[in-house]
Structure formats: C-alpha cells, structure tokens
C-alpha cells in the first residue's frame, strides 16, 4: 500500500493566507526558499485589494518583496518600532518577521504582537514569523497556525543539481564535468530530507572539488548530510560497512537479506520494502558484525543509534530527543539503523518513572507508521528483558537466533582473522583449532589470535597455529561460565526464531 501523496505546500499556505488566520509560525532553515513560497502563495491568495508582501529583519528594516517599492525602511529595524508601525498602519498585507523568536521573551513585544493579531478584522494584516525554530509564548500560541514547508521533491533536487552543473560549465568555458550517472542518481536520492540550500552546498562541494561525480562524492554527501541532521549526537554514522565475506557463518541470514535487496533499493517497485529484523543470540557471536554486513549488502550507510544519549533529567526531553533522532534517521534514508542491545534501552524496570514506557510507545509508533527506507537491525542478548510489545508479530520482519558457531564456522572465523593479520594458517590447522575450541564465540576466537600475537611478539617467536592453540587452552569461554543462561536462551529460541546459520 502506497502512502497518500503529500499536500501541495503552495496550496496549503495559500489557504492559510486566504483565510482569516492573522498569525502564522513557520519553522524553516531554508529562509530564501520559504520566502519565495510565501511570496508566491501571497500572490495567489484571495487578499484585500492593494495587499502587499513585506519582509522585516533586524538589520534591514521593512521592505516590500512582491513588487519593487525602493529600498527598505531602515528606521523600522527595532522590534518594538516595527510592531508599533504594524499596529498603526491601515494597509492590508502579509508581514514576514525574520528571526523574531528572540524578541518574544519581552512581554511588551508579546503584548503588542497580540494586539496586532487580534485587530485583524480592523486591518487584514497577516503576521508570519519565520525562524529556524519557534516556541510561541502561551499568550500567542492559541492565535497561531503552524506551517512547515515541504522539503525539495525529487524533481526539485534534480533541478538543483542541474543548476550547479550549469554554473560549473559556465565557469569552465563549456567543459563537461565527468559524471557517473548511477552515482549521480544516488546522490539525488540521498539529498532527500535536506533543505534546498543545504542540498546545493553539498552538490557544489562534490562537483567543484575535482570536476567529477564519483563514488567518493556519494560518501562525502552522505557524511555531510549526517553532520547536518544529527544535531542530538545520538547517531553514529558509519559509511564504510562490512562484507559478509568478513563474517563467518550466518548463511541463512545472508540469503534472507540478499533476497530482499531489490525490494529495499527500489529496483523491484512491486515488492514491499523490508522493514527490519531482530537478532537474538549469545554474546560475541557476530550480531554487531552482521548489522554492518547487512548495510554492506544494501549498499547504504549504517547508523548506530545510541539510546543512552537520549535520556534527560527534564520532563519530556527524552521523548523529544527520540522523536528528533527518528526524524533524522528518516531524513538520512536509505540507511540501516542499528540498535545494539535494545533490551537495555527499552526495558522498563520497577524504578521506571514512566519515561521508559513513553519512549517505547514513541518508538513502536514510529516503527508502525514510517514510510522511509530505514531498515532496522536490533540486537539483543537477554530475551527476557525485551518488552512484550516489541516482540509482537509484525514489529520486525523476522527474528533470527545467532548461536555459538559450529566447527566449520569456527574454522572459517579463524581463517578470516588469521588472514587479516597475515598469520600463516592452513585449512587443516584451522580445523584442528576449531576442534579444540568448542563453545567459543567468534569474538573469543579473535581474541585468542590477538593474544597469541602479543605472546609471540614478547618472546620473539613466530605466531602460528601452535601459539593460537596455547591461548585457546588458557581461555574459559563465556558459554561455559554462564552455561545455564546460554542453555535457557537456546531453549527459548528453538521454536520461536529462525536460525541465522
């Protein structure tokens, strides 16, 4: 089922300006685009004869922008002065006040603005407050309509790219830039969620750097977009993801992801895009590496979501941080959103004051209603701590269980880590080491190789299978130390999950 088409922003704003709404609050970081939208909607709106569109700023004063009426009225730069002018003038019009939000802390300004707004029947003046962020005081909030301009559409983003390319060609006397068309299409796709001004800056930086558009530019655009949108610092951006060739085992999980790649990247539009999966399993068995490898298969960035950074001592602030973070993830789509040890983030204990439940509710609502290409990979070690609501059918496309590696997988993991560290290890030696490492996790096998490197370096000897075997014998794996917990987890997962291997 496709989402309903977005309302035409021109029509929505035009309706507000045609109706008897005297105060409109517009939050936008793209001031020039928002002003153009207001001017265009103002010209189309049903307004009294002679009604104009004016813009005020603290540096320029008041000027008309729908027609040329000369320079700005610089004697009206003071907030109180322009409010007195608006209160006294009988001229109907749309008056846009730029970055007026700091002056709303002054009760006199609030009172005068309220007087202007409530006198709309005497003079049809519509006040538009345009700022990156606006928090209206309680005296004005009931009188205002809130409007948030739509971000550039795909066609608008293509037009931005075309304009940048035309500028580059003019500056280089008609020379054509070197462009990878597939990469360019992905860049246009990745600009979704950004303002027109931010999109243009990123495209200019990518093209003007070396006169070409390449895969490196795509990574730079993704990283730049992340820097612009991750204002809460709760998302870690990882553009360089792993390959499943670096993961030992998990063949069933790999097949599941690969069969859904076309649906996720849009190359199979008839298929519904996958929404996410939950990875349960024993610690150190590759769940985190699998998250990176899934992003690698989908060829999208990986966003690691730090839930702990959400929490605030202020009432309601944690939920706001979560909403802002999820909105940023939507804007950074297409991507993989990795939530590590989700049970620690969303568990509601006896001491929970209600914030944890509200966070869970906000997260579940977003999971159910989102339309963006954000693929969730949640990992968990303790299934008993997961909220029942999160495990309900339909929250995740599938729940996989990542068990301790079998002998063949342990041999493959040993070969991967030995090869990465240039340790000579034959297939036969890897099989012997695998037989000697029953109940070892992938992380513990890697650490045995690392420990062998330290030991042989201190002894001045060569790192080989014998040195690794010595470290394995000296290690008690976690699955042995907490054997009861591992057995309980396996028993729970047996008939409830799909094996990742």
pLDDT of residue 8: 62
Same domain for 206 and 139: no
Same domain for 108 and 41: yes
CB atoms within 10 A of CB 255: 10
Contact of 187 with 205, CB cutoff 8 Å? no
Same domain for 360 and 314: yes
Range of the domain at 121: 9-147
Question: In Å, how far are 154, 222, 244, 301, 304 from 216, measured between CA atoms?
Answer: 22, 10, 22, 13, 21
Is 493 within the bounds of a domain?
A: no
Is 13 within the bounds of a domain?
A: yes
Is 497 within the bounds of a domain?
A: no
Is 4 within the bounds of a domain?
A: no
Is 415 within the bounds of a domain?
A: yes
Q: What is the pLDDT of residues 299-331, one digit of tens each?
A: 888 999 887 777 655 556 778 888 888 888 888
With a CB cutoff of 8 Å and minimum separation 6, the contacts of 320 are none
* Rounded CA separation 394/391 (Å): 8
Is 259 within the bounds of a domain?
A: no
Angle at 319 between CA 354 and CA 361, to 5 degrees: 60
Is 499 within the bounds of a domain?
A: no
Same domain for 428 and 389: no
Contact of 149 with 28, CB cutoff 8 Å? yes
Q: 193: phi > 0 → left, psi -120 to 50 → alpha, else beta; which?
A: left
Contact of 249 with 286, CB cutoff 8 Å? yes
Q: What is the CATH number of the domain that holds 164?
A: 1.10.8
- The set of long-range contacts for 318-326, using a CB threshold of 8 Å and a minimum separation of 24, is 318/355, 318/358, 318/359, 319/355, 319/358, 319/359, 319/362, 321/232, 321/234, 322/359, 322/362, 322/363, 323/362, 324/231, 324/232, 325/232, 325/234, 325/235, 326/362, 326/363, 326/366, 326/370
Residue with tokens 């009426």: 69
Domain count across the chain: 4
Same domain for 187 and 223: yes
Same domain for 142 and 30: yes
Same domain for 173 and 130: no
Alpha helical stretches, state H, 353-426 = 355-369, 388-391, 407-420
With a CB cutoff of 8 Å and minimum separation 6, the contacts of 89 are 123, 125
Same domain for 16 and 130: yes
Q: Is the peptide bond before 46 cis (omega within 30 degrees of 0)?
A: no
Question: Reduced to 3 states, what is the DSSP secondary structure of residue 139?
Answer: coil
- Please report the beta strands in 38-124, taking only residues with DSSP state E, as ranges in sequence order: 52-57, 61-64, 93-98
Bridge partners, residue 380, by sequence: 280
Q: What is the CATH number of the domain that holds 65?
A: 3.40.50.300
Same domain for 426 and 298: no
Domain final position from 112, 147, 182: 147
* Rounded CA separation 218/241 (Å): 14
Is 476 within the bounds of a domain?
A: yes
Low-confidence ranges of the chain (pLDDT < 50): 1-6, 350-351
pLDDT of residue 245: 61
With a CB cutoff of 8 Å and minimum separation 6, the contacts of 210 are none
Candidates 154, 77, 85; CA nearest to 113 is 85
The DSSP symbol for 2 reads P
Question: In Å, how far are 82, 304, 343, 472 from 483, measured between CA atoms?
Answer: 74, 30, 21, 18
The DSSP symbol for 74 reads G
Candidates 197, 188, 72, 189; CA nearest to 132 is 197
Same domain for 160 and 134: no
> Strand 398-402 relative to strand 276-281: parallel, antiparallel, unpaired?
parallel
Largest CA distance in the chain: 93
Residue with tokens 């991507």: 335
pLDDT of residue 1: 37
* Rounded CA separation 112/469 (Å): 81
Same domain for 177 and 95: no
CB atoms within 10 A of CB 233: 10
Same domain for 40 and 127: yes
Question: Reduced to 3 states, what is the DSSP secondary structure of residue 6?
Answer: coil
């Amino acid at each position: 089922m496709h989402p309903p088409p977005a309302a035409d922003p021109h029509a929505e704003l035009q309706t507000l300006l045609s109706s008897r709404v005297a105060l409109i609050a517009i939050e936008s970081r793209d001031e020039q685009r928002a002003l153009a939208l207001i001017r265009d909607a103002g010209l189309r709106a049903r307004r009294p004869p002679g009604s104009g569109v004016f813009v005020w700023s603290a540096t320029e004063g008041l000027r008309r922008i729908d027609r040329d009426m000369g320079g700005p009225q610089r004697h009206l730069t003071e907030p109180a002065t322009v409010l007195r002018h608006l209160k006294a003038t009988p001229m109907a019009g749309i008056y846009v006040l730029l970055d007026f939000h700091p002056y709303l802390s002054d009760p006199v300004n609030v009172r005068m603005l309220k007087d202007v707004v409530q006198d709309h029947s005497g003079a049809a003046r519509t006040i538009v407050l345009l700022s990156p962020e606006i928090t209206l005081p309680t005296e004005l909030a009931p009188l205002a309509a809130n409007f948030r301009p739509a971000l550039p559409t795909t066609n608008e983003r293509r037009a931005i790219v075309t304009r940048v390319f035309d500028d580059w060609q003019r500056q280089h006397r008609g020379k054509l830039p070197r462009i990878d068309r597939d990469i360019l299409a992905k860049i246009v796709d990745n600009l979704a969620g950004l303002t027109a001004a931010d999109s243009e800056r990123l495209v200019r930086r990518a093209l003007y750097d070396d006169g070409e558009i390449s895969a490196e530019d795509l990574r730079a655009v993704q990283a730049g977009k992340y820097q612009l949108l991750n204002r809460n610092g709760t998302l870690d951006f990882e553009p360089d993801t792993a390959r499943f060739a670096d993961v030992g085992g998990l063949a069933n999980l790999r097949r599941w992801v690969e069969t859904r790649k076309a649906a996720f990247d849009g190359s199979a539009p008839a298929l519904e895009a996958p929404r996410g999966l939950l990875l349960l399993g024993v610690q150190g068995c590759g769940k985190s590496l699998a998250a990176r490898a899934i992003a690698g298969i989908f060829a999208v960035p990986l966003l690691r979501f730090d839930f702990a950074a959400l929490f605030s001592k202020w009432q309601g602030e944690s939920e706001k941080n979560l909403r802002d973070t999820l909105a940023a993830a939507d804007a950074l789509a297409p991507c993989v959103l990795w939530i590590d040890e989700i049970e620690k983030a969303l568990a509601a204990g006896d001491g929970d004051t209600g914030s944890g439940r509200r966070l869970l509710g906000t997260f579940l609502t977003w999971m159910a209603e989102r339309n963006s290409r954000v693929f969730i990979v949640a990992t968990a070690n303790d299934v008993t701590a997961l909220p029942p609501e999160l495990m309900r059918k339909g929250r995740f496309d599938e729940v996989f269980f990542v068990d301790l590696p079998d002998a063949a997988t342990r041999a493959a993991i040993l070969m991967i880590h030995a090869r990465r560290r240039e340790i000579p290890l034959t297939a036969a030696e890897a099989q012997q080491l695998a037989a000697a490492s029953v109940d070892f996790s992938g992380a513990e096998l890697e650490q045995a190789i690392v420990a062998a490197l330290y030991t042989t370096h201190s002894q001045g000897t060569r790192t080989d299978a014998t040195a690794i075997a010595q470290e394995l014998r000296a290690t008690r794996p976690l699955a042995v130390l907490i054997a009861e917990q591992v057995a309980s987890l396996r028993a729970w997962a047996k008939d409830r999950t799909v094996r990742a291997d």
